[in-house]
Amino acid sequence: MALWGGRFEQGVGELTQEFGASLPVDKALYRQDIAGSIAHSAMLAAQGVISQEDADAIRAGLKGIEADIDAGRFAFDINDEDIHMSIEAELTRRIGEAGARLHTGRSRNDQVATDTRLAAKALAKELMSANLSLRDALVQAARDAGGTVLPGMTHLQHAQPVLFSHHLLAYVWMLARDFKRLAAAFDAADASPLGAAALAGTSYPLDRGMTAEGLGFARVIPNSLDAVSDRDFLLDLEYACSVMAVHLSRLSEEIVLWSSQEFGFITLSDAFSTGSSIMPQKKNPDFAELIRGKTGRVVGDLMQLLMTVKGLPLAYNKDLQEDKEGALDAAHTLSQCLAVMTGMVGTWTVNADRMRAVMRKGHLAATDVADYLAKRGMPFREAHAVVGHLVLTAEKRGVDIADLPFEEFKAASELFEPDITGALDLDAVVAARTTEGGTAPARVAEQLKLAEEAQSADARTVENLTPVVEMGQGA
C-alpha cells in the first residue's frame, strides 16, 4: 500500500500505478530531494517539532541513500510512485520511526516544487557556463580571423562586404542576450516554496527562512498557493533554452552553407563531420544539422509546458507532474548542442582566400558607388538609379561592377572621377563602415573588447550565484 493509502481499501492497479508514476523522470532530482529533506528536518529540530536525535538520524540515513544512488547501488521501485516516496520509504526502512517523522509539516506539493526549483537553478547555472564557453570560442575565432572579409548577405544574396570577425561577433551578442535570459530564469527559480505544505501552510511552527537559507534560496515565496502551483520559473528556463537553441540553429545553417562546395568558406574538422555509406567522397556537416534539428525538440518542450499550465486552477494539480520531463530534456539537449557547437567553432578551418575570391561576384561595392555620387551632390535616390544601371550593364557583360572601365562610369554620370576606383576596393569599402557597431576594423576591435568585458562580467555573475544543489549522475 502507498504511503498515502490509509484512506483506501485497495491499491491502484498495475496499469494505473505505472501511468501515474513520475519516478522514471523525477528520480533525476534525488540530490535536490535529499537536500530539501535534510534542510526540513534540521529546521524541525531547531523548532522543537522533532528531536535533534531524530534529525541527526534522518541526515545520516539520507546521506547514505544519496551515496548509494550516486554509486548506482540503489534499486528504484516503480511502486514507490515518485522520488519523494521512494527515498522516504527507504529512509524509514533504514532508520525506523525517525524516518516516518520527516514529513511532518510538509506536503509532496511543496516538496516537489522545492526539488524542481533547485534543479532549475542547477540547470540554468550549467547552461550559463556552457554559454560562456561557446562565446569564448567565437571570440577567439573572431580574433583569429583578423582581416578576413566575406560577402555579407541579405536574402542570402551578396549585399556588402564585412569582416568575418564582425559576422561571428553577431552571434556572440545573441549569446550574451541568451545568458541574461538564463540569469533571469535562475533568479525566478531562486525562491523557496518549502513550508507552504499542500496549499495553505501548516499549523506547525515552521521557520521557512531557515530552510530557504539552508538550501541556498535567495528568498521565500510569500503566498502558499502560488508557492505550490507556480511553474513560471520553468517556463522562463525553457524559453531561454528555446531562444538560444534558435540562435544555434541559425549558426548551424550558416555552417552547413559555408562548408558546402558552393561556398567553401570553412572546412570542418573530421571530428565534427561524418561520411556516407555509399559515396566515398562525402564529408557531411551532420552535427550542425543535428543541432538545427534538435531546436524543434527544445521549442516543443516549451510548448508542452505552456499547454500544461494554461488552464490549471489553484493550487496543485496532477497535471504538474508533466512539468519536469520537458525541462530536463530541453536543458540536456541544449547543453549537448552547446558543447558540440563549441567544438565545431574551435576546430574549423577558415578559407579566407575562397571568401575573397567570391567577393568579385554580386557587385558588393554598389552601395559605395552610389554613396560616392551622393557625397558629390546627387540625391541618393537618383544615385541609386544610376548605379543600378551600371550593375545592369555589368550583368549583361558577365562581369562585376568593379570590372567596368572608367568610361562606363563617366558615361553614366559626369560626377564620376578616376578616384572612383577607391570606392570599388572591397577592403576600402569595409574600412569605410566606421559608424558605431560597423564592420570597419577599428570598430570591430572595439566590439571584441566589449564582448570580452561582457564575458568577464558574466563569468563573475556565475561565480557569485547563490549556491546550487548540483544534478546527480547515479539516477
Q: What is the DSSP string of 248-300?
A: HHHHHHHHHHHTSTTT--EE--GGG-B--SS-TT--B-HHHHHHHHHHHHHHH
Which of the following is catalytic: 249, 276, 335, 363? 276
Pairwise CA distance, residues 250 & 169, whole Å: 14
Spatial CA neighbour of 288 closest among 265, 264, 268 = 268
Which of the following is catalytic: 22, 155, 229, 273? 155
Q: Which amino acid is at 95?
A: I
Q: What is the DSSP string of 310-367?
A: TTPPSS--GGGGGGHHHHHHHHHHHHHHHHHHHHHHHH-EE-HHHHHHGGGSS-TTHH
CA distance readout (Å), 358 to 149, 151, 155, 157, 186: 10, 8, 17, 12, 45
- Supply 41's cell numbers: 528536518
Cβ-based neighbours of 20, under 8 Å, separated by 6 or more: 12, 81, 318, 321
Give the DSSP H or E segment for 240: helix 232-258
Is 155 marked active-site?
A: yes
90 beta partners = none
274 beta partners = 284
Cβ-based neighbours of 303, under 8 Å, separated by 6 or more: none
User: Cβ(128)–Cβ(182) under 8 Å?
Assistant: yes
Cis peptide before 159 (omega within 30 of 0): no
* Number of Cβ within a 10 Å radius of residue 264: 15
* Cell 534522518 sits on residue: 58
Catalytically active residues are 155, 276
